[in-house]
């Protein structure tokens, strides 16, 4: 059976990379708008993320619809990923027949400055709480993400909650004993939020 490989928005990413992922100061100053449409590995639409940039802050409005890969009654990790290393692929690439751990690895790690740990990454976002009916709505304002870095990045929804790196390790009664190196690494990189179940590229206006 032929493998189905989903490659979403490759041309948009190529254009964004060659343009150094800049939107320009005039666009930032005049209420620029962006959108990412999240899709699962089969290409089904999972939701949208609208970003509106004003002079003072960035407003984010995310909406999710029911999807078999998204568990109801649970928080889900939600991040902006760098999508900056062509060696890992470009855009939102996933083979639905492959191991879920391989889905959307093309989006690379979280958008972050050198030395930032998880919980403080530029791309770390609040987590949507998916309702019992499988839908979710999340709105927030942030000044953490530099607007000029947004275009061409990827928004990723994970299948598990994000611990935001908040796992105190030590020997005190209110601390956890040191865990395995693998678990500690997952917390440091992703908040141990699990597999990537939906991906969407950020582009100007109301993208597809």
76-120 pLDDT, tens digit per residue, is: 999 999 999 999 899 999 999 999 999 999 999 999 888 887 888
pLDDT the model gives residue 6? 41
Q: Which residue has the higher pLDDT, 208 or 187?
A: 187
| Domain edges within the chain | 6-204
**Picking from 89-103, 123-137, 194-208, which range would have the lowest pLDDT averaged per residue?**
194-208
Q: Which residue has the higher pLDDT, 170 or 52?
A: 52
Q: Which residue has the higher pLDDT, 153 or 5?
A: 153
Name the CATH superfamily housing domain 6-204: Superoxide dismutase, copper/zinc binding domain (2.60.40.200)
If pLDDT is split at 50, 70 and 90, which confidence band does 204 have? confident
If pLDDT is split at 50, 70 and 90, which confidence band does 176 have? confident
Please state, for a pLDDT cut of 70, what percent of the chain lies above it: 84
Contact indicator for 46, 40 with CB cutoff of 8 Å: yes
- For the cut 90, the answer to whether the pLDDT of residue 39 exceeds it is yes
> What integer best gives the mean pLDDT of the chain?
83
pLDDT the model gives residue 206? 57
**Picking from 8-17, 50-59, 99-108, 166-175, which range would have the lowest pLDDT averaged per residue?**
8-17
pLDDT the model gives residue 30? 52
pLDDT the model gives residue 49? 97
- For the cut 50, the answer to whether the pLDDT of residue 16 exceeds it is no
| Cα 148 from chain centroid (whole Å) | 17
Q: Dihedral of the CA atoms 71, 141, 109, 180 (nearest 10)?
A: -60
In Å, how far are 37, 57, 120, 167 from 15, measured between CA atoms? 18, 26, 28, 39
- For the cut 70, the answer to whether the pLDDT of residue 51 exceeds it is yes
Cα–Cα distance measured from residue 111 to residue 4, given in angstroms and rounded to the nearest whole number: 28
- For the cut 90, the answer to whether the pLDDT of residue 135 exceeds it is yes
Strands 74-75 and 129-130: antiparallel
pTM of the model: 0.80
């Amino acid at each position: 059976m032929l493998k189905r490989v989903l490659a979403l928005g490759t041309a948009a990413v190529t254009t964004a990379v060659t343009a150094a992922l800049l939107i320009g100061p005039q666009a930032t100053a005049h209420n620029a708008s962006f959108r990412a449409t999240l899709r699962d590995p089969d290409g089904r639409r999972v939701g949208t993320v609208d970003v509106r940039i004003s002079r003072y802050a960035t407003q984010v409005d995310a909406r999710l619809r029911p999807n078999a890969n998204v568990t109801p009654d649970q928080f889900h990790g939600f991040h902006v990923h760098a999508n900056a290393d062509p060696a890992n692929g470009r855009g939102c690439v996933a083979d639905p027949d492959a191991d879920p751990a391989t889905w959307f690895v093309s989006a690379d790690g979280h958008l972050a400055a050198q030395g930032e740990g998880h919980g403080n990454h530029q791309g770390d976002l609040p987590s949507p709480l998916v309702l019992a009916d499988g839908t979710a709505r999340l709105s927030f304002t942030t000044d953490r993400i530099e607007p000029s870095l947004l275009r061409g990045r990827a928004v990723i929804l994970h299948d598990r909650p994000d611990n935001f790196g908040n796992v105190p390790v030590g020997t005190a009664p209110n601390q956890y004993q040191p865990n395995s190196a693998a678990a500690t690494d997952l917390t440091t990189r992703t908040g141990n939020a699990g597999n990537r179940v939906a991906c969407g590229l950020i582009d100007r206006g109301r993208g597809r």
